[in-house]
Amino acid sequence: MSANLQSMTKVFERPKSLTDARFTYCPGCHHGILTRIIGNVMDELDIAERTVGIAPVGCSVFAYLWYKADSQQVAHGRACAVATGIKRARPDLVVFSYQGDGDFASIGTAESIHAANRGENITVIFVNNQIYGMTGGEMAPTTLIGQKTTTTPDGRSASLFGYPIRFSEMIAQLEAPAYVTRQALYDTKHIMDATRAIKKAFQYQVDGVGFSLVEVLSTCPTNWRMTPVQANKYVAETVTEIFPLGDLLDRG
Amino acid sequence: MPKGTVVFDTERCKGCGLCIAACPRNVLAFSGTLNRSGYDVAHMANPEDCIGCGFCALTCPDIVIEVYREKVPS
Amino acid sequence: MAERLLLRGNEVIAEAAIRAGCQCYFAYPITPQAELLEHMARHMPRLGRTFVQAESEVAAINMVYGAAGAGVRTMTSSSSPGISLKQEGISYLAGSNLPAVIVNIVRGGPGLGNIAPSQCDYFQATKGGGHGDYHIIVLGPSTVPEAGELTMLAFDLADQYRIPVMILADGLLGQMMEPVELPDPIDPASLPVKEWATTGAKGRAPNIILSFDLDPEGLKQMNLDLQAKYRTITETEIRTEEVATEDADIVIAAYGTIARICKSVVRQARADGIKVGLFRPITLWPFPEAALRALSEKVDTVLTVEMSACQMWEDVRLAVAERAKTPFFGEMGGIVPTPRSILNEVKKHVR
């Protein structure tokens, strides 16, 4: 028996700050959840009209299609430098970068560290799924020891390729950043925690508090060779052991 | 407990199953019906148990689901 | 009212950029353009504009990309190895139709090379050092005052055509001092608003800056549009200087500081009874091919003089073909040929 929508209140719908475009992400990929959260936050803070998003290179290269806001698609790894340029040119805009683990923590290492160190008043969303999705599943700097990827077919070996890098912990050592946190999206509670964290990260920019970094542990069901539900469980049980959740720094 | 219901924009569903796993009341399941993209879309298998909590919509990566709750009389 | 100052080349370029309304300057230190950076560091903050010493030349060109996309006048400067680092960013700027000014104070190369003047980056500048079918406008000043004029012109051309513009100077020009008259400054706030820029999508559809289209037909159209732009620029923006070419038997083709030295050579040679002239491209891209071709119909020899291993010489050869002889004289390693050595070379080619 169908419910009568007329007598009901709609309590959840698509955020107004997002376009109608269909996400190009794989089934179960957390990029979609994260994008919805950002759209939500843009609605709540009413900032879409003065926001510039930065689309990186990676699975989220099409990020410029999702938001009813200006966007710049930029070179791989350079989003934090581009964000610096936009924010310095027009400090009234809300500028956020959205980057994967290759973009932010490998090729973009210098730009990421120095934007944080200068305390650029921007919001950085760092999607950490311990693998390179777009290019077919290679090792990321955040890949776990023993994790099989196309460039570590026998599992990542520390002696050959070092250890998964905890980039947020490194950024949290710096004097300038205002807020550094690591979140996850593998169940409702963590989705709600992440939403609060991302809202804070954008609020801090709006209030001029300073640089915010939100690292989001995400899944790559396709390249992890897992179902979306299995992938969520893997983050909950295994990934959080290496990448602990919570606020690393909050100077707000 | 307030009753709820959800509406699926079925052509956006990619059959990932996260909503099914997130539902605390076992309301959702795969329907066995494929959309135009070839995905087995989720649906309300037990609609009378829906409480409109929205957990399914919160986790849906493709914003497929709209959630409704009965108006609570004041 | 124009102000007369004694400045070195690096400083003039910086000051000209400020007066052209450059809002944001991002750069990394490298010899021999340190004074440019220092001038910007002192003056930009005073004027409420942006100066950032970036963590690398790569970061700097990407900061330029952001600021350019946000619709402000923006510039970076570097020297040869740093310009190599910027190539991906320059390709992105060109592909995204973004205006920006890039200054290359060329030094000896390849590799670390040295810090003496050279013209060994001509290929990199004009044939595209970055990937893809693109061009940037390349301007080659030969005096300190001209460096200032061309820098101001660069900002105008960049905005007019939504294209990166490079000032291709060298370590000699960067360091030498000359009296310069600079025009009154432009207030950046008075510049026209760029409707396509990412200024916040209030009351309009979102603006998206990108150089990407997965659909080959779409990317082909993007490229066709770029090529059409380049044709327009080639038809309307070529700039050259000719000295004593009307009755010349032999013409020197040279650009930049060496062209200025060649002006002395022309004077001396004429005094010695040699009918020599100078053809000086000011725009290196677009290269003044048609003008040089026409000139080569009337002369025996076009002698390219360049501090390189025959880079601009190739474009001279393409323009001249078999119409005249196309010898080359130059130096590498940061050595600047003397007027006497160039004159001796000219004499070798005179019948």
Taking the CA of residue A27 and the nearest CA in chain B, the distance in Å comes to: 5
Q: What is the pLDDT of residue B74?
A: 61
> Domain range holding A227?
23-133+164-250
The answer to whether the Cβ–Cβ distance between A8 and B58 falls below 8 Å is no
Closest CA to A176 of A114, A86, A246: A114
- The domains spanning C3-201+223-236 and C242-348 adopt the same CATH topology: yes
Taking the CA of residue A89 and the nearest CA in chain B, the distance in Å comes to: 34
Taking the CA of residue C189 and the nearest CA in chain A, the distance in Å comes to: 12
The answer to whether the Cβ–Cβ distance between B63 and A18 falls below 8 Å is yes
The answer to whether the Cβ–Cβ distance between A36 and B63 falls below 8 Å is yes
Residue B30 vs residues A244, B7, B21, B40, B42: alpha-carbon distances, Å: 33, 14, 11, 6, 4
Task: List, for chain B, all residue ranges whose pLDDT scores fall below the cut of 50.
Answer: none
Q: Any contact of B with A, at least 3 CB pairs below 8 A?
A: yes
- CB-side exposure of C236: number of CA atoms within 13 Å? 9
Domains and CATH numbers, chain B: 4-69 (3.30.70.20)
Q: Any contact of B with C, at least 3 CB pairs below 8 A?
A: no
The answer to whether the Cβ–Cβ distance between A49 and C74 falls below 8 Å is no
Bridge partners, residue B65, by sequence = B8
User: Subunits with at least 3 CB pairs below 8 A relative to chain B?
Assistant: A
Q: What is the pLDDT of residue C128?
A: 82
pLDDT tens string A93-105: 999 999 999 999 9
Q: Closest CB to A49: pick one of C62, C201, C209.
A: C201
**pLDDT band of C258, cuts 50, 70, 90:** very high
For chain A, list residues whose CB is within 8 angstroms of any CB belonging to chain C: 48-52, 54-55, 61, 64, 67-75, 78, 81-90, 92-93, 110-111, 113-114, 118
Is-contact C325 C302, C-beta < 8 A? yes
Which chain A residues contact residue C74 at CB under 8 A?
85, 89
Judged against a pLDDT cut of 60, whether residue A2 lies above it is answered with no
Q: What is the pLDDT of residue A4?
A: 78
Domain locations in chain C as residue ranges = 3-201+223-236, 242-348
Which chain C residues contact residue A73 at CB under 8 A?
96, 208-212
The answer to whether the Cβ–Cβ distance between A90 and C206 falls below 8 Å is no
Does A31 reach chain B within 8 Å, measured CB to CB? yes
User: Subunits with at least 3 CB pairs below 8 A relative to chain C?
Assistant: A
Mutate to test the interface with C, among A19, A76, A82, A97 (most CBs of C within 10 A): A82
* Residue A37 belongs to some domain of the structure: yes
Residues 185-244 of C with CB under 8 A from A: 198-203, 206-212
Which chain A residues contact residue B39 at CB under 8 A?
27
Cα C212 to its chain centre, rounded Å, is 27
Q: What is the pLDDT of residue B1?
A: 58
> Residue range A71-78: average pLDDT?
98
The answer to whether the Cβ–Cβ distance between C206 and A74 falls below 8 Å is no
DSSP C163-189: -EEEEEEEHHHHH-EEEEEEPPPPPGG
The answer to whether the Cβ–Cβ distance between A3 and B7 falls below 8 Å is no
Stated as kind and residue range, the H or E segment containing B65 is strand B65-70
Count interface pairs A-B at CB distance under 8 A: 98
pLDDT tens string C114-169: 999 999 999 999 998 999 999 999 999 999 999 999 999 999 999 999 999 999 99
As to burial, measured by CB atoms within 10 angstroms (0-12 exposed, 13-18 middle, 19+ buried), residue A153 is: exposed
pLDDT tens string C38-84: 999 999 999 999 999 999 999 999 999 999 999 999 999 999 999 99
One-letter amino acid of A102: G
pLDDT tens string A141-175: 999 999 999 999 999 999 999 999 999 999 999 99
- Tell me the H-state helices in chain C: 9-19, 34-46, 57-69, 80-85, 87-95, 122-126, 144-161, 171-175, 216-236, 256-271, 289-296, 312-320, 339-348
Is-contact A218 A29, C-beta < 8 A? yes
* Residue A12 belongs to some domain of the structure: no
How would you classify the pairing of strands B65-70 and A70-73? unpaired
* Residue A17 belongs to some domain of the structure: no
pLDDT tens string A211-250: 999 999 999 999 999 999 999 999 999 999 999 999 999 9
Which chain A residues contact residue B67 at CB under 8 A?
10-12
Does B25 reach chain A within 8 Å, measured CB to CB? no
One-letter amino acid of C152: M
Taking the CA of residue B62 and the nearest CA in chain A, the distance in Å comes to: 6
Residues 151-210 of A with CB under 8 A from B: 185, 187-188, 191-192
What is the edge-to-edge ordering of all strands in the sheet holding A123-128? A246-250, A179-184, A212-217, A123-128, A94-100, A51-55, A70-73, C208-209
**Which percentage of chain B shows pLDDT scores above 90?**
92
CB atoms within 10 A of CB C229: 17
pTM above 0.90, yes or no: yes
* Residue A119 belongs to some domain of the structure: yes
Give CATH for domain C242-348: 3.40.50.920
Is-contact A209 A179, C-beta < 8 A? yes
One-letter amino acid of C188: P
Is-contact A171 A113, C-beta < 8 A? yes
Judged against a pLDDT cut of 70, whether residue C94 lies above it is answered with yes
Q: Closest CB to C50: pick one of A81, A82, A89.
A: A89
Q: List all residues 6 or more positions away from A7 whose beta carbon is below 8 Å from its beta carbon.
A: B70, B71
* Residue A212 belongs to some domain of the structure: yes
Which residue carries 């295994």 as its tokens? A238
Which chain A residues contact residue B61 at CB under 8 A?
23, 25, 27-33, 36
* CATH (domain of A46): 3.40.50.970
DSSP A24-54: -SPTT-HHHHHHHHHHHHHHHHT-GGGEEEE
Does B55 reach chain A within 8 Å, measured CB to CB? yes
Considering its fold, how many domains does chain A have in total?
1
| Bond prior to C286 in cis (omega within 30° of 0) | yes
Does B37 reach chain A within 8 Å, measured CB to CB? no
CATH 3.40.50.970 is held by the domain C3-201+223-236: yes
Name the average pLDDT for chain C: 96
Q: Any contact of C with A, at least 3 CB pairs below 8 A?
A: yes
Q: What is the pLDDT of residue A29?
A: 98
Which residue carries 């508090």 as its tokens? A209
Closest alpha carbon within chain A to B67 = A12
The answer to whether the Cβ–Cβ distance between B66 and A10 falls below 8 Å is yes
pLDDT tens string C195-251: 999 999 999 999 999 999 999 999 999 999 999 999 999 999 999 999 999 999 999
* Stretch among A61-65, A98-102, C334-338 having the lowest mean pLDDT: C334-338
**pLDDT band of A1, cuts 50, 70, 90:** very low
Q: What is the pLDDT of residue C3?
A: 73
Does B45 reach chain A within 8 Å, measured CB to CB? no
The answer to whether the Cβ–Cβ distance between A90 and C70 falls below 8 Å is yes
